[in-house]
Amino acid sequence: MKLLGAILAGGRSRRFGSDKAEAVLNGRTLLAHVADALRPHCDALVVCGRTHREMASLEDRPHAGLGPLGGLCAALTFGKDAGFTAVLSAPCDAPDLPSGLCDRLLEESGPAYVADLPVVGLWPCVLAEHLHSWLDRNNDRSFSIWARAVSAKPVEFEHKFGNINTPDDLSVYEHRHAIRW
């Protein structure tokens, strides 16, 4: 299986107040933490919804402003055209993805996602056209609803997934995880 890692980073960070992908957690950006978590499982990485100086960057598809599904659509389309089998997606604001994430998602046949955080998932690239069509005809941009529409399986983990939405979340997160870093 040829796997493309996609970091979904096109959000406006309204609740955070500044660009949270570039927010620093223990000396590194949130985006760098996510890249480091995905890299061992993937043949290549892309950042969706923004330009990045160190990684390939993709514009959301079919256009900007579609939320995380626009980033996933870009990654699936790129992956399909470049010969990848599937996309492992994660948001730029979830810095502590567990090491067994990819293996656990691969245990499912077909698309699968983390029940606590549906934007983290494994998506076959053959879904590219389906998602593009979905975004063209639906106003609903919910990752969960689209996942159900493609019969993706929610996967439960002991590890509780979370993401960082505010500066207070970042502060609490850094404090709670200080021992782990």
Q: pLDDT value at position 8?
A: 95
Q: pLDDT value at position 98?
A: 84
Pairing status of strand 56-58 against strand 44-48: parallel
State whether residue 69 is helix, strand or coil.
Answer: helix
Q: Are 111 and 122 contacting, i.e. CB atoms less than 8 angstroms apart?
A: yes
Model confidence over 32-51: pLDDT tens digits? 999 999 999 999 999 999 88
Q: pLDDT value at position 158?
A: 86
How many Cα atoms within 13 Å fall on the side-chain side of residue 12?
6
Mean pLDDT computed over 19-23:
80
Q: pLDDT value at position 181?
A: 42
CATH fold, domain 3-176, is Spore Coat Polysaccharide Biosynthesis Protein SpsA; Chain A (3.90.550)
Instruction: Place 17 in a pLDDT band, splitting at 50, 70 and 90.
Output: low
Higher pLDDT, 4 or 174: 4
Q: The tokens of 115 are what? A: 């029940």
Model confidence over 103-158: pLDDT tens digits? 999 999 889 999 989 999 999 999 999 999 999 997 788 999 999 999 999 999 88
Mean pLDDT computed over 59-72:
93
DSSP E strands, 22-97:
24-25, 28-29, 44-48, 56-58, 86-91
- Which residue in 86, 93, 141, 134 sits closest to 112, CA to CA? 86
φ, ψ dihedrals at 88, nearest 5°: -100, 110
Length of the chain: 181
Give the C-alpha distances (Å, rounded to integers) separating 35 from 28, 89, 137, 158: 11, 11, 32, 22
Pairing status of strand 24-25 against strand 86-91: unpaired
pLDDT at residue 12 above 80? no
The structural domains of the chain, with segments of one domain joined by +, span 3-176
Q: pLDDT value at position 156?
A: 92
Q: pLDDT value at position 147?
A: 96
Higher pLDDT, 70 or 95: 70
